[in-house]
A and B are shown apart, each in its own frame.
Chain A
Amino acid sequence: MTDTTRTQTDLERQIAQASQDVKEARSPIDSTTTQTAVKDIVEAYPAKVGKKRAKHIVVRDPNIPEQTIEANVRTTPGIITQRGCAFAGCKGVVVGPIGDVVHIVHGPVGCSYYSWLIRRNQFRARANGRNFVNYCFTTDLTEHDIVFGGMNKLRQAIQEAYDLFQPPAITVHSTCPVGLIGDDIQGVSREMSEKLGISIVAFNCEGYKGVSQSAGHHIANNGFFKNWIGTNEEAEEVEGYTVNLMGEYNIGGDTWEIERVLEKCGIQVISKLSGDGSYDEATESHLAKLNLVMCHRSINYMADMMETKFGIPWIKVNFIGVNAFAKSLRKIAEVFDDPELTERIETVIAEEMAETEAQLATYRERLTGKTVFLFVGGSRAHHYQELFADLGMKTVVAGYEFAHRDDYEGRDALPNIKIDADSRNIEEIHVKQDPERYNPPFSEEALAKMETNNTLKDYKGMMPDMGEGTLLVDNISHHELDVLIERFKPDLIGSGIKDKYVIEKLGIPCKQLHNYDYGGPFAGFRGAVNFAKDVDLRVNTPVWKYVKAPWLN
């Protein structure tokens, strides 16, 4: 290492420490306020509901070694939840972003319409020019179809989609009534796949399955894995440091910023699952030597299955936050364990961090000490805590809509999780080692070492990253949000579109962390700067001073 990089690393060490300190700090809200708020929240419910909700709300105490939380259970009717359904988790989140595939929604018009262009998973056409992300395809079922069945219409719709667009693959997604009327979308898709000679994959992601979007992720992973992963048996081995980006959906261009840095390090992305993902690349994703799991909740099933079948190990990464990104890059270096790559990664980190730090410093001055609530789907409520900490902002309350206990407590909790009646019908597929193509890219010795270091397949969850006295709230309701805002008065809330204007009517800025308020990227080094600017403008804009009319002061 040269002297220059050494100096930059010192700077980096300082900012990493500062960020860590913010994360681990105890909550600035005094514990009586916290305890009272929790008590009042629970007591406002009907007794039975309150008893259940109490298990979803946890005051973080690092002195309890295995603190637990209830998660991934049914939503209380009428409570005003933020949650969506399995269809959204399957078509909307995991499968839909594959941009050169035609995704047909089999159902009445609403489901396809509401998932049309709403998640900002950006896509760039490959050389063949195919790009369907701006389109919305549906069988638009009518009363006649509900009464007499919609299978003929689906067959015809697939044929029409093929004739019009010649896609390399088609997916079919079922919605609520399809399961009830008994349309066999699997059969129709198989039949049409044989007829047309392209991959047609059906997903039984009816909205009532499971208890949230999470069921849809699982259903998507199963269909995706069985039909696409490694199905190109002709594809030839790729030399060098190769990875798949998994559970990264390219919202606002996040994937492209991550790829920029990986490429600079000399790491090649084989396949993206599924932001900016393409069908061909998915079929070749078994060629990568390492899987990088960004969103653990939505893609951990596929990561596990790929490991079993092809021997590709996976590591949990976080590309949100300057220090988190650096840590993730070092984790990749550790796996490949090649001095040349390691040095290149260190050089890139040093360069990028110096550049980023120069731009972040002013924003950090304006934002340090501010408090944040985070309520986002199944991963960002954790990931963004790192980026907020980089800016000196403390997350005091955080929760997921639909994550499971392992996302809160870490994967060590997995053996203790019982699947309840509401989620039991989500198919678990059992994968075997591929007799020909199982090809672990690392020696057993190396893998064993990584195992000991907890590098592989390790996710510790959100809980250990939250300081004493902070609150975790799973599947927050409107009532809970209302009480917590009133008592804690945070400086910023990271949440979604349904809450945004509720929060802002209360005079508190809300940063949308699903759609980024139409900005981004927020991942990576450059993303951190975009994010800092965005948070600054929301927290420090003069308009908040005018909320109250002057004659009321």
Chain B
Amino acid sequence: MLDATPTTLVERQALRVNPAKTCQPIGAMYSALGIHGCLPHSHGSQGCCSYHRSHLTRHFREPIMAATSSFTEGTAVFGGGANLRQALKTIYKLYDPPVVAITTTCLSETIGDDIPTIIREATESGVIPNGKTVIHANTPSYVGCHITGWSNMTASMVKYLSERSGESRNQVNLIPGYVEPSDTRELKQMLATWGIDAVTFPDTSDVVDTPQTGHFQMYPQGGTTVEALKTTGDSLATIALGPEASTQAAIALDAKCQVPAHILDLPIGVAATDRLVQTLMDVTGTQPTDEIVNARGRLVDVMTDMQAYLYEKRVAIAGDPDQVVPLVEMLVTCGAKPVYVITGAESKYFRDRTQAILGETVPEAVIRDNADLFYLHQLMKQEPVDLLISNVYGKYIARAEDVPFVRYGWPILDRVGHSYFPTLGYGGSLHLLCTIINTLLDRKDRDDPDEVFELVL
């Protein structure tokens, strides 16, 4: 497996091999699905839209609906305005979505289609019926990565929809970040338990994890409603989780409606979740419930019970910055040593925070953004690790090097559960920690000779 990967590291200037990221519009499409009744629309040639739908579908095993402007060579030369107008006509006649969220691709960005003007003209000429919401985000694929696309679309929700009425509401805005529907559900549940009113956006729970009922719902029951999004300008504060995914929207909301922003790491692990709880205490002036405190206690209990299996373990991690940073912190909290930590994104947040966490505890750690899985594999070949944590593409490295492997982050295309079982909050962190420890125990059971094979571990 991956036999062509040499151990010797050669710095590459131009060739990307086995990327640890993908392009903007897929993130924007996923974000847009977190609005209730939204049909994402990809303004470009149709290949992008098919790829993005297929990829999200493979990850969630759910229908992912989206339309496209289906550019042809003529469109590429003369501009895509006519295609978008034609698309909107067909979309409203056939599929009647309450919301359309337009994303762009490298094609429409390179030719410079002016989407706001096209939307304005389509509204004036009645192509977009009265009462329908159309928003857009520019998502050039040659800038940033899928997280950038998510961030851009999430910020567009604020720019297009948030309003400040002058009367403040006793609610917080929660931007959960580029996470699983299970994670958003977990966070919403925590706030509900606590008695905090919140507008959570985008919210893909009950959109990309819908029940099987024998009915297909083009616009599932989940998603943040446009009405709720409008009220975000009147909230007490915005809690933005995952700086790469959520900062932009939080800052936009502060700029537009003066809602103060609190930008936090994703609540993965006890320390990061504690910081979220503390922020909620500060913002609302209330105390967390016993239920929340007990959930924390159960997480710490497993950490103390099972720490022997993680202590000093060398771990390689690849993923999106927002997911990797708190995971590194959680592992360090448990005494493990994340020695190779990479992300495909370009991210100062990732570099600075990872360095701050590992600088003293694991000074030998290699930390690198804008890196790829080929590079990570080469590091692992030079000096092996005890555990690899990454999205699905890591399975090839895990097999090649015979390393225990935990699937984490996005995408996971070969297992089930990630959309149902969270990794955020005290409960989610407990689930993630158990998966990590059990993976190491499975390996111990596989490798131990018969005479020392243990019943109790």
- A residues within 8 Å of B by Cβ? 44-46, 49, 74-88, 104, 107-118, 125, 129-132, 134-143, 145-146, 152-157, 159-161, 163-165, 175-177, 179-181, 206-211, 421-422, 425, 477-479, 482, 496-498, 500-502, 504-507, 547-548
Closest to A138 in B: B16
B25 contacts the other chain (CB 8 A): yes
Q: Assess the B216–A502 pair: CB atoms within 8 A.
A: yes
**A134 and B396 within 8 A (CB):** yes
Are A74 and B70 interface neighbours, CB within 8 A?
yes
Interface centre among B41, B84, B94, B214, by most chain A C-beta atoms within 10 angstroms, is B94
Question: Would A79 and B10 count as touching, CB distance under 8 A?
Answer: no
Instruction: Pick from B12, B74, B210: contact of A421, CB below 8 A.
Output: B74
A502 contacts B63, C-beta separation under 8 Å: yes
Q: Size range of the interface on B?
A: 35 or more
Contact A160:B107 (CB < 8 A) given known A45-B90, A84-B47: no
* Residues of chain B from 84 to 121 with CB closer than 8 A to chain A in the complex: 84, 86-91, 93-95, 105-107, 109-111
Bound CA–CA A56/B4 (angstroms): 47
Q: Which of A83, A138, A157, A163 contacts B46 (CB 8 A)?
A: A83
Which residues of B are found within 8 Å of A104, using beta-carbon distances?
15
Are A110 and B25 closer than 8 Å at their CB atoms? Answer: yes
Q: Is the CB of A211 within 8 A of B94?
A: no
Residues in A with CB closer than 8 Å to B106 are: 107-108, 110, 141, 146, 175-177
Q: What is the minimal beta-carbon distance from B396 to any residue of chain A, in angstroms?
A: 5
A411 to B6, CA, bound (A): 49
Chain A residue with Cβ nearest B43: A77
CA distance A155 to B13 in the complex (A): 11
Return B55 CB to nearest CB of chain A, in Å.
6
A188-B106 Cα distance, complex, nearest whole Å: 22
Contact of B107 (CB < 8 Å), options: A44, A116, A145, A176: A176
Distance of A210 Cα from B73 Cα, bound (Å): 7
Evaluate contact between B212 and A118: CB separation under 8 angstroms: no
- Please name the residue on chain A nearest to B61 by beta carbon: A501
1/0 contact string of B257-269 vs chain A (CB within 8 Å): 0000000000000
- Name 23 A/B residue pairs within 8 A (Cβ), A-sorted: A45-B90, A75-B70, A81-B70, A83-B70, A85-B50, A109-B141, A110-B26, A111-B51, A114-B54, A129-B3, A131-B4, A138-B19, A140-B19, A153-B13, A160-B14, A161-B15, A164-B10, A164-B15, A176-B110, A180-B107, A208-B75, A497-B58, A501-B63
Query: Which one, B14, B58, B89, contacts A156 given CB within 8 A?
Result: B14
Q: Are B142 and A143 in contact (CB under 8 A)?
A: yes
Asked whether B206 is an interface residue with its Cβ less than 8 Å from the other chain, the reply is: no
Residues in chain B near residue A113, CB distance under 8 A = 19, 21-23
The answer to whether B54 and A177 touch across the interface, beta carbons within 8 angstroms, is no
Residue of B nearest to A83 (CB): B46
Q: Which residue of A lies closest to B23 (CB)?
A: A110
Q: Tell me whether A141 and B93 are in contact in the complex, defined as CB-CB below 8 angstroms, given that A114-B55, A547-B213 are known contacts.
A: no
- Closest beta carbon of chain A to B130's beta carbon, Å: 18
Closest chain B CB from A431 CB (angstroms): 25
Q: Which residues of B contact A500 (CB under 8 A)?
A: 57
Closest 8 CB pairs of A and B: A85-B47, A78-B87, A110-B23, A77-B87, A156-B14, A114-B51, A78-B90, A140-B16
The answer on a CB contact under 8 Å between B89 and A78 is yes
Q: How many angstroms between the C-alpha atoms of A44 and B145 in the bound complex?
A: 38
Nearest chain B CB to A125 CB, angstrom units? 8
Write the chain A residue with the least CB distance to B146: A110
B346 CB, min distance to chain A CBs, angstroms: 9
Give which listed residue, A86, A110, A161, A181, contacts B141 with CB less than 8 A: A110
Rounded to whole Å, the gap between the CB of A314 and the closest CB of chain B is 29
B76 contacts the other chain (CB 8 A): yes
Beyond A160-B13, A176-B105, is A79–B110 a contact (Cβ under 8 Å)? no
B93 CB to nearest A CB, Å: 5
Q: A142, B143: Cβ atoms under 8 Å? A: yes
Contact of A77 among B66, B70, B143 (CB under 8 A): B70
Could you tell me the distance between the alpha carbons of A505 and B109 in the complex, rounded to whole angstroms?
36
CA distance A181 to B451 in the complex (A): 66
Question: A76–B46 Cα gap in the complex (Å)?
Answer: 10
Complex Cα distance, B88 from A109, in Å, reads 28
Which residues of A lie under 8 Å from residue B1 when comparing CB positions?
Answer: 134
Minimum CB–CB distance from A497 to chain B (whole Å) comes to 5
Contact between chains at B214 and A507 (CB < 8 Å): yes
Chain B contacts for A496, CB-based, 8 A: 54
Q: Mark B193-219, 1 if CB is under 8 A from A, else 0.
A: 000000000000000001011111100
Question: In angstroms, how far is the closest chain A Cβ from the Cβ of B9?
Answer: 11
Q: How far is the CB of A164 from chain B (nearest CB, A)?
A: 7
Tell me, rounded to whole Å, the shortest Cβ–Cβ distance linking B47 to chain A: 3
A125–B2 CA distance with the chains assembled, in angstroms: 11
Residues of B within 8 A of A504 (CB): 212
Q: Which of B6, B46, B90, B140 contacts A164 (CB 8 A)?
A: B6
Contact indicator A78/B3 (Cβ below 8 Å): no
List the A side residues contacting B312 at CB < 8 Å.
none
Contact status A77-B90, CB under 8 Å: yes
Cβ A181 vs Cβ B110 within 8 A: yes
Complex CA distance for A98 and B310, rounded to whole angstroms: 43
Task: Evaluate contact between A108 and B19: CB separation under 8 angstroms.
Answer: no
- Which A-chain residue is minimally distant from B140 (CB atoms)? A143
User: Is B12 within 8 A of A160, CB to CB?
Assistant: yes
Per a CB cutoff under 8 Å, which of B17, B23, B213 touches A136?
B17
CB-defined interface of B38-74 with A at 8 Å, one 1/0 digit per residue?
Answer: 0001001111101111110110011111111111111
Residue B18, interface by CB 8 Å: yes
Q: Cα distance A208–B215 when bound, in Å?
A: 35
A45 touches B215 (CB 8 A): no
Q: Which residues from chain A contact B307 at a C-beta distance below 8 Å?
A: none
Q: How far is the CB of A420 from chain B (nearest CB, A)?
A: 10
Is the CB–CB distance between B69 and A110 below 8 Å?
Answer: no
C-alpha spacing A497/B47, complex, angstroms? 14
Q: Considering the chains assembled together, what is the distance between the CA atoms of A498 and B42 in angstroms?
A: 15
Cα of A422 to Cα of B406 in the assembled complex, Å: 47
Q: How far is the CA of A137 from the CA of B83 in the complex (A)?
A: 32
CB distance from A529 to the nearest CB of B (A): 25
Q: How far apart are B454's CB and chain A's nearest CB, in angstroms?
A: 35
Minimum distance in angstroms from A508 CB to a CB of chain B: 9
* A110 and B4 within 8 A (CB): no
Could you tell me the distance between the alpha carbons of A500 and B109 in the complex, rounded to whole angstroms?
Answer: 31
- Chain B residues, Cβ within 8 Å of A156: 13-15
Set of chain A residues within 8 Å of B46, measured between Cβ atoms: 75, 81, 83-85
Whether B54 contacts A506 by the Cβ 8 Å rule is no
| In the bound complex, CA of A507 to CA of B71 (Å) | 34
- CB pair A135–B94 under 8 Å, yes or no, is no
Rounded to whole angstroms, the CA-CA distance of A45 and B95 in the bound complex is 10
Extra contacts, 20 of them, besides A78-B88, A110-B26, A505-B63 (Cβ < 8 A), are A45-B94, A46-B90, A77-B69, A77-B86, A77-B90, A85-B48, A113-B22, A114-B51, A116-B393, A135-B2, A137-B16, A146-B110, A152-B14, A207-B107, A208-B72, A422-B72, A498-B53, A502-B63, A502-B216, A547-B213
The chain A residue sitting closest to B111, CB to CB, is: A180
